[in-house]
């Protein structure tokens, strides 16, 4: 009897863990601590409709992220070019990142260019700062 109970508990915990890890995030959060705005360009060319203003926290519903990525997803990941000062004459391209639309995992974990950086804090959450 103990073996059956233990097997059932183990199976239930395994299923609960699998479900917990498969849940997509609720929103994409960008903490912009710089003096410039920032924006993501899906597939490197399509600007997000939700740029993050200087010294603010940008929050975008994950459903909106998925819609913006429609038609550009490869292997479940959406590519996005991150720019600082996107509304200026000379925006700074930090680099391309990839968002896993199932988990919110963002890779690579850091981007650096021209004295600015973006780090990944966790699933669907980043911080942009001046180095």
* 76 torsion bin: left (phi>0), alpha (psi -120 to 50), beta (else): left
Domain 24-130 in CATH 2.60.40: yes
Q: What mean pLDDT, rounded, does the chain reach?
A: 88
On the question of pLDDT at 5 being above 70, the answer is: no
Helices (H), the chain: 2-22, 62-69
Other beta carbons within 10 angstroms of residue 124's beta carbon come to 24
Per-residue pLDDT reduced to its tens digit, 55-113: 999 999 999 999 999 999 999 999 999 999 998 999 999 999 999 999 999 999 999 99
Per-residue pLDDT reduced to its tens digit, 13-71: 454 444 455 688 999 999 999 999 999 999 999 999 999 999 999 999 999 999 999 99
Distance CA 36, CA 93 (A): 13
Percentage with pLDDT > 90 across the chain: 80
* pLDDT at position 23: 84
Distance CA 106, CA 100 (A): 6
pTM for the complete prediction?
0.81
On the question of pLDDT at 7 being above 70, the answer is: no
* pLDDT at position 9: 54
* pLDDT at position 11: 47
């Amino acid at each position: 009897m103990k073996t059956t109970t233990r097997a059932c508990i183990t199976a239930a915990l395994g299923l609960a863990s699998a479900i917990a890890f498969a849940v997509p995030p609720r929103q994409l959060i960008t903490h912009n601590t710089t003096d410039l705005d920032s924006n993501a360009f899906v597939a490197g060319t399509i600007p997000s409709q939700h740029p993050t203003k200087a010294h603010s926290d940008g929050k975008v519903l994950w459903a909106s992220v998925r819609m913006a990525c429609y038609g550009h997803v490869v292997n479940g990941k959406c590519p996005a070019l991150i720019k600082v000062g996107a509304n200026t004459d000379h925006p700074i391209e930090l680099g391309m990142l990839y968002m896993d639309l199932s988990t919110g995992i963002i890779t690579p974990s850091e981007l650096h260019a021209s004295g600015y950086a973006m780090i990944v804090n966790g699933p669907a959450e980043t911080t942009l700062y001046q180095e």
